[in-house]
Amino acid sequence: MGSPTPNPIRFADVNSGNNGIASLSAPENGDSGAKVVGRVENGVADTDQAHEDSPYSGNTLVVEDRPSVGDEDLVSAAAPLPSVSKSNIEHRWSDITSYTTKKKVQSWFQLPNGNWELARIVKTAGSESVISLPDGKVLKVNSDSLIPANPDILDGVDDLMQLSYLNEPSVLFDLQYRYNRDMIYTKAGPVLVAINPFKKVPLYGNNYIEAYKNKSIESPHVYAIADTAIREMTQDEVNQSIIISGESGAGKTETAKIAMQYLAALGGGSGIEYEILKTNPILEAFGNAKTLRNDNSSRFGKLIEIHFSETGKISGAKIQTFLLEKVVLVTPFFIVLCHLSRVVQCAEGERSYHIFYQLCAGAPQKLNLKDVNEYKYLNQSNCYAISGVDDAEQFHIVKEALDIVHVSEEDQESVFAMLAAVLWLGNISFNMIDNENHVEAVADESLINVAQLIGCETVDLNLALSTRKMRVGHDNIIQKLTLSQAIDTRDALAKSIYACLFEWLVEQINKSLAVGKRRTGRSISILDIYGFESFGRNSFEQFCINYANERLQQHFNRHLFKLEQEEYIQDGIDWAKVDFDDNQDCLNLFEKKPLGLLSLLDEESTFPNGTDITFANKLKQHLNSNPCFRGEREKAFTVSHFAGEVTYDTTGFLEKNRDLLHLDSIQLLSLCLCHLPQIFASNMLNQSEKTVVGPLHKAGGADSQKLSVATNFKSQLFQLMQRLESTTPHFIRCIKPNNLQSPGSYEQGLVLQQLRCCGVLEVVRISRSGFPSRMSHQKFARRYGFLLLENVASQDPLSVSVAILHQFNILPEMYQVGYTKLFFRTGQIGILEDTRNHTLHGILRVQSCFRGHQAQRHFKELQRGIATLQSFVRGEKARQEFAVLLQRHRAAVVIQKWIKGRNVKKTFKKINDASIVIQSGK
């Protein structure tokens, strides 16, 4: 979770910022503005020693509820060194008073190295104060150089809005206080500030997910942001977005994964959430790399769009990709911006994409891959491993993820074969064949292996790498390539294969996530895009990255500064405007037509004889008057970005921007026996049909030219911003505490620079002094109208709203009535919501009792009816049984009578016969 950042701010060189931001420049000759008076011994002080293009199609107004902070004073202060005048301080922090110097309390004092120390004021005389530092030093300083410090009770508050004194050192101390205790999340009004701990912290897992789901924990967290997003999506039926920003190495990728885990836990059940989570290892393997400051730096950005059903369960997802040097439009879910130049070249101490090293460590034997140091694309940087990372194990994790997203075993083998082909392409060398520097590929194992892996003949591969077919009139001629042209062709083929492979993989994931899934229109998007970058040498890639970050910063400014304040003005709210750093001038430098950086780059790219030097000279000629631009010596120029100045080297700008499409390479791939190269060639040909046909470039000998990379990048970036504008945004600002990826290390200057860039103090000031909660009259009346004691159904919504406010005795200073909406101070909506929920709960209790009583009455009536029915049934049954029994009894009596009669007859007959016999004997 760490990566390169701009150079740390040098406090001695920082001039006054725009919009009233106070200077932090140090006094001349190294004078700190403080005189050492003495030291403190045993607590006793010895005082005797001492723009016209816009991606936005309309205004999107955001409604956000923010936590209550009570009735604290809205006091704030700047962070000047002693050389800063009092007027400059008051210009930015208008609520600074001499309270600190009048009372013998603690204050912040800035040391010559730029760090802040908490000083105790020993005594004050006139405009000077004697302060005691923690190390025992006693200094005599100008009272105006002291910044008020908050009382100890506010140490480590979880929302910066709760600070009584809102100033830079207080914010720095609060964040550091929490960071040292592994509380890496802090709220800055509506923005979540996340500081990269560079270690595992016990803040995640199922227990925490359940706690935030049930609202049993209220502390700031990514889970809380994700929970708010999913609840607002369900309640308001508006798509949400979680925008994660920050410098490289600030922890954006991990933060995005944490947000996804929470959404998957809450929206799980269908099984699709598991597949979505398993896309992370695939995208990281193919899009992440080790840089000088980050072992797992995302060299791509992604917009994760997750769709939900009406019941709040994840119902599906789709993917869209567009690459820096190869722009490909698929379907929306992820937006991936990936550096392809890293495929063929790597700086010292860095690595290419993880997948290459994972492949060499864990690939099947049949690929016959060598060690990573045998491949020229990988051994340029002399860096092959990452401490604590097992590439072979990671390879198996990637294979498992590919299985889960239903990439077949056959396709996986093809993917690995394409990766191996890219590695072997870098090892292909060339021999001179004539005196004109023409070359042909050496027929060694590299050439043979590439041909076998992609399924073509070595002769065809050799011709594609060393010659170029050109059409002159009605004839086709074959032009032999020079060594530099052949190397460019080889590297272009490698980058194209990798780009197409990445695109194909995303498409397969897309198919897996979309099968049988139904979109409902409700979605939450998570934007994780690479951060602002500034290296020793900044090329075309950093140019595009920093332009994208300028656009994202404008989106941040637009929603948290511009739209917020514009809405107050448009709705007739009494509001004192808050100044902030607007980067619109820098965006105009990039986008203005016809004399903007992008327009001039495209113009120079269309000239056959255009070079990097002519491009640099054209920039200096037309843009030197722009305050955000400065021409440098030779081929360099400097841009003043929102995050600092960056100097770009124009070497390679035109070639990378042209992104010429060579039909020879496409034809080679189309003739391959393997199915993936054929798919790649088909996709390239489909795109070439949509390109703008341009002049042939002598250096490249291309057959056609696509729209420039910069133009495509700008177009796709505008589409991204338009999509974000259609959502309700939630912002997470990731902060990198140090450049060494060291746990526990907190560099004040580096953190302060990032806080300034993202305007944290201004966001908190607007949130504290503004009206963060707002609701239309109709919605307010509909939501809280039932709470009124009197019947006002016939009244208009505004009258109902005012009646509600009066009934609940909401103080006039806690709200303002606009033309269309009601605007509330922090916490007021929460009070009404609590009353509403309490009332609804009471209503539900009454209803439950009444319904229970009704149910009991109904049950008893039903019970009596059943008993009556049962008695009739049982009586009838008893009578029927008795009749049968009586019939049987009578039958038995008759039978008995006949049997008895017969027996009697038989007896009588015997007696009679005996009597006759006796009588006859006489």
User: Sign of the CA dihedral 44, 47, 49, 50?
Assistant: positive
Does residue 310 have a known ligand-binding role? Answer: no
Active-site residue among 32, 101, 143, 248?
A: 248
Does residue 104 have a known ligand-binding role? Answer: no
Q: Is 647 an annotated catalytic residue? A: no
Q: Is 533 an annotated catalytic residue? A: yes
Does residue 512 have a known ligand-binding role? Answer: no
Active-site residue among 76, 88, 288, 298?
A: 298
Q: Is 287 an annotated catalytic residue? A: no
Does residue 250 have a known ligand-binding role? Answer: yes
Does residue 246 have a known ligand-binding role? Answer: yes
Amino acid in position 436: E
Copy the structure tokens of residue 60: 């999107």
- Those residues whose C-beta lies under 8 Å from the C-beta of residue 558, and which sit 6 or more positions away, are 56
Q: Is 297 an annotated catalytic residue? A: yes
Distance separating alpha carbons of residues 893 and 905, to the nearest angstrom: 18
Asked whether the bond before 737 is cis by omega within 30 degrees of 0, the reply is no
Distance separating alpha carbons of residues 203 and 179, to the nearest angstrom: 13
Distance separating alpha carbons of residues 828 and 830, to the nearest angstrom: 5
Helix (H, G, I), strand (E, B) or coil at 522: strand
Question: Could you tell me if 785 and 804 are in contact, meaning their C-beta atoms sit under 8 angstroms apart?
Answer: yes
Token pair 């100890």 is at which residue? 152
Active-site residue among 32, 186, 253, 657?
A: 253
Question: Could you tell me if 507 and 319 are in contact, meaning their C-beta atoms sit under 8 angstroms apart?
Answer: yes
Does residue 22 have a known ligand-binding role? Answer: no
φ, ψ at 824 (rounded to 5°): -125, 145
Distance separating alpha carbons of residues 779 and 800, to the nearest angstrom: 11
How many Cβ atoms from other residues are within 10 Å of residue 280's Cβ?
A: 17
Which among 22, 1, 26 is positioned nearest to 12, based on CA atoms? 26
Q: Three-state SS across 847-872?
A: HHHHHHHHHHHHHHHHHHHHHHHHHH
C-alpha R_g of the chain: 39
Q: Is 249 an annotated catalytic residue? A: yes
Active-site residue among 33, 287, 531, 770?
A: 531
- Those residues whose C-beta lies under 8 Å from the C-beta of residue 69, and which sit 6 or more positions away, are 159, 161, 162, 768, 826, 827
Render the burial of 826-853: b for 16+ CB within 10 Å, e for the rest.
bbbbeebeeeeeeeeeeeeeeeeeeeee
DSSP per position, 6-66: PPPP-GGG----STTPPP-PPPGGG--SEEEEEEEETTEE-TT------S--S--------
Question: Could you tell me if 225 and 732 are in contact, meaning their C-beta atoms sit under 8 angstroms apart?
Answer: yes
Active-site residue among 2, 189, 249, 426?
A: 249
Render the burial of 706-723: b for 16+ CB within 10 Å, e for the rest.
bebbbbbbbebbbbbbeb
Active-site residue among 107, 297, 711, 728?
A: 297
Q: Is 638 an annotated catalytic residue? A: no
Question: Could you tell me if 503 and 321 are in contact, meaning their C-beta atoms sit under 8 angstroms apart?
Answer: yes
Active-site residue among 284, 533, 591, 604?
A: 533
Distance separating alpha carbons of residues 35 and 511, to the nearest angstrom: 70
Amino acid in position 847: Q
Distance separating alpha carbons of residues 30 and 169, to the nearest angstrom: 21
Active-site residue among 294, 449, 727, 801?
A: 294
Q: Is 605 an annotated catalytic residue? A: no
Does residue 213 have a known ligand-binding role? Answer: no
- Those residues whose C-beta lies under 8 Å from the C-beta of residue 789, and which sit 6 or more positions away, are 807
Copy the structure tokens of residue 892: 């038995």
Distance separating alpha carbons of residues 759 and 560, to the nearest angstrom: 10
Distance separating alpha carbons of residues 283 and 279, to the nearest angstrom: 6
- Those residues whose C-beta lies under 8 Å from the C-beta of residue 907, and which sit 6 or more positions away, are none
CA dihedral 548, 552, 553, 555 (to 10 degrees): 140
Question: Could you tell me if 554 and 587 are in contact, meaning their C-beta atoms sit under 8 angstroms apart?
Answer: yes
Alpha carbon of residue 303 to chain centroid = 7
Q: Is 694 an annotated catalytic residue? A: no
Does residue 253 have a known ligand-binding role? Answer: yes
Question: Which residue ranges are tagged as binding site?
Answer: 246-253
Question: Which residue ranges are tagged as binding site for ATP?
Answer: 246-253
What residues act catalytically? 248-249, 253, 294, 297-298, 531, 533
